[in-house]
Structure 1
Amino acid sequence: MRKVFLGFIVYALAELALLIVIGQNIGVFNTLLLIVATSIIGIYVVKNKGMNSVQNVKNTIARGEAPGPALIDTVLTFSGGVLLALPGFLTDLIGLLLLMPFSRKMFQPIFYYWMRKKMKKGNFIIVQK
Structure 2
Amino acid sequence: MWKLLLLFLFTVVPAVELFLLLQLGSLLGPMQTFLIVLGTGILGAWLAKREGFAVLRQLQADLAKGLPPAVRVVEGALVLVGGLLLVTPGVLSDLTGILLLLPPVRRSIAPRIVARYGG
Q: Fold conserved (TM > 0.5)?
A: yes
Corresponding residue number in structure 2 for 1:104: 106
Corresponding residue number in structure 2 for 1:67: 69
Identify the match of residue 41 of structure 2 among 39, 42, 52: 39
Q: Is the 8 A contact 2:41 2:89 kept in 1?
A: yes
- Which of 1 and 2 has higher RCO (CA within 8 Å, sep 6+)? 2
Q: What is the total number of aligned residue pairs between the two structures?
A: 117
Equivalence map 1:1-129=2 (5 Å): 2-3=3-4, 4-108=6-110, 110-112=112-114, 115-116=117-118
Higher-Rg structure is 1
* Structure-1-length-normalised TM-score: 0.77
1:35-74 Cα distance to aligned partner (Å, 9 max, x none):
0000001111222221221122122112211112222222
Please, which runs of 5 or more residues in structure 2 have no aligned partner?
A: none
One-letter identity of the residue aligned with 1:85 = V
Pairwise CA distance, 1:105: 4.2
Distance 2:83 2:18 in 1: 21
Note closer, same or farther for the CA distance 1:12–1:100 as it changes in structure 2 (3 Å cut): same
* Structure-2-length-normalised TM-score: 0.83
Pairwise CA distance, 1:86: 1.4
- C-alpha RMSD of matched pairs (Å): 2.1
Please, which runs of 5 or more residues in structure 1 have no aligned partner?
A: 117-125
- Identity, in percent, stands at 30
Pairwise CA distance, 1:110: 4.8
Range moving further from structure 2, 9-18 or 43-52: 43-52
